[in-house]
């Protein structure tokens, strides 16, 4: 899934390859991500951020936990000089991906580009940690 902060400019296209093609990982697994970016045209980014994080979805307010984060500002590591990027980390023991009824936990990687104009563009790609079955509603309590 990719989202653009502003829509009136053409959005870059980010193609991501995970080290597990099915995007299913177990806790403590090494995670390796390679990505390629296209469509930057004549607006090179001034910084790129890589992050591996979990966030909650559902009825409650969104909570976020960043497991891995790096920010690249050196021009030789940024597109268009380096149109491909990669990063890796070892996943933590928790939390596991969870498909609950009012609480869902998702894992994803994000690649965020910051442009000279001040706008930014984030590309988000989900993956799963663990293999828990989805939860079901039993009893609703007020």
Partner 1 sequence: MRFPRFFGKKRGHRRTGSQAWASLGDAAFHAVLLTAGIVFAGLLLSGVAVPEWRINQHFLATDCTVLGKGLARRTTAADRGGSSTWQPCLRVRYDVAGRTMESWSTPSRSTTTSDRSRAVAALSAWKLGDVVPGWYDPSAPATVVLQRGYNWWMWLLTLLLPGALVSFGGMGLARAIRRWGRSEERCAVPSRFSDILDPLAAGPRQATDRPGVPACDDLVNSPGTVLAYRLPLESPENWTLLGFGLFAMLWNSVLAVLGVGAVIDLLKGKIDWLLLTLLVPFAAVGIAGLVLFVRRVLLTTAVGPTQLEISAQPLQPGGTYEVLLAQGGSGTLESLRLCLALDEQATFTQGTDTRTDRITVWARDIRTWRDLQLTPGARFEARESFTIPADAMHSFASEHNAVRWSIAVHGQPAGWPGFVRTFPLVVFPAEPAPERGDPRREASP
Note the residues at the interface with partner 1 (CB under 8 A).
6, 8, 17-22, 24, 26-30, 32, 34, 49, 51, 53-54, 56-67, 69, 71, 92-96, 98, 100-103, 105, 110, 112, 114, 120, 122, 130-133, 135-141
Least spacing, CB of residue 2 vs partner 1, in Å: 13
**Closer of 8 and 76 to partner 1 (Cβ):** 8
Q: How far apart are CA 8 and CA 23, in angstroms?
A: 32
* CB environment 51-86: b (16+ within 10 A), e (fewer): bbbbbbeeeeeeeeeebbeeebeeeeebbeeeeebe
What pairs with residue 69 in β-bridges? 51
Q: How far apart are CA 75 and CA 81, in angstroms?
A: 7
Least spacing, CB of residue 36 vs partner 1, in Å: 11
**Closer of 2 and 19 to partner 1 (Cβ):** 19
**Closer of 40 and 111 to partner 1 (Cβ):** 111
Q: How far apart are CA 24 and CA 129, in angstroms?
A: 6
**Closer of 42 and 136 to partner 1 (Cβ):** 136
């Amino acid at each position: 899934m990719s989202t653009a902060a502003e829509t009136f400019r053409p959005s870059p296209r980010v193609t991501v390859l995970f080290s597990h093609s099915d995007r299913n990982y177990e806790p403590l697994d090494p995670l390796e991500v390679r990505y390629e970016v296209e469509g930057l045209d004549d607006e090179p980014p001034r910084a790129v951020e890589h992050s591996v994080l979990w966030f909650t979805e559902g009825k409650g307010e969104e909570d976020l936990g960043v497991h891995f984060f790096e920010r690249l500002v050196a021009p030789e590591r940024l597109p268009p000089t380096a149109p491909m990027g990669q990063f890796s980390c070892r996943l933590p023991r928790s939390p596991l991906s969870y498909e609950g009824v009012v609480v869902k936990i998702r894992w994803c990687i994000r690649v965020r580009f910051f442009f000279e104009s001040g706008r930014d563009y984030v590309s988000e790609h989900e993956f799963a940690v663990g293999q828990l079955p989805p939860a079901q509603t039993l009893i609703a309590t007020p």
